[in-house]
Amino acid sequence: MRKINILKAIVDLLWILSMPIVLVIIGFSIAVFFVDLGDLNIKINSIGLNTDTLFSKTLLVVSALNYLLIVAALYFFKKILNYFIRVKIFEEKVISSFKKMGNLLFISGIISLTISMISRFYFLQKVTLEFGLNQHLVIICLGLFFLVLSEIFKVAKNQKQENDLTI
């Protein structure tokens, strides 16, 4: 039980530290269309952006808002840990939170992979295919893992209900 308390403390700390960043991202996403960002050296995935065009500003905003999906997934993980600490493992909220978290991470991974490919093509005029482990694939795999975990918990909940009825 001590490990879950440590994990909960870490997730709570990440949650508290991410709240000011969320406010900055929302303000930045609105301001990017009204403020000239030509003096800033902004990079997405090690690719320098030319922030003069509407397309690059849109790409920057989508990338910033993609971070909010990860923060929302962190919120659902925080909820799950609260249920785990109270030993309410097979609650419907846990299963739905796993599913929501998996969907958010999967969508975030797809968006970040797409942004990476588009920005590489648009700004560097390169089309490359890389094999290996990168952060986009890890986020996609984590999303799929939590979706599978949701299904496993759903089956386990049904098994638990059947066992409770036979006793």
Q: How does residue 165 score in pLDDT terms, banded at 50, 70 and 90?
A: confident
For the chain, the domain total comes to 1
Compute the distance between CA of residue 150 and CA of residue 144 in angstroms, rounded to an integer: 10
Coil/strand/helix, residue 121: helix
Which of 22-36, 72-86, 129-143: highest mean pLDDT?
72-86
* Confidence (pLDDT) at 24: 86
- Give the per-residue pLDDT at 61: 82
3-class secondary structure, 17:
helix
Residue 31 pLDDT greater than 60, yes or no: yes
| pLDDT at res. 45 | 54
The dihedral sign for the CA sequence 114, 134, 102, 11: negative
Range of the domain at 150: 2-166
Q: Rounded to an integer, what is the distance from CA 82 to the centroid of its chain?
A: 19
Residue 49: pLDDT band by 50, 70, 90 thresholds? low
Encode 1-14: b = buried (16+ Cβ within 10 Å), e = exposed: eeeeeeebeebeee
Q: Is 60 exceeded by the pLDDT of residue 66?
A: yes
Q: In whole angstroms, what is the distance from residue 56 CA to residue 61 CA?
A: 9
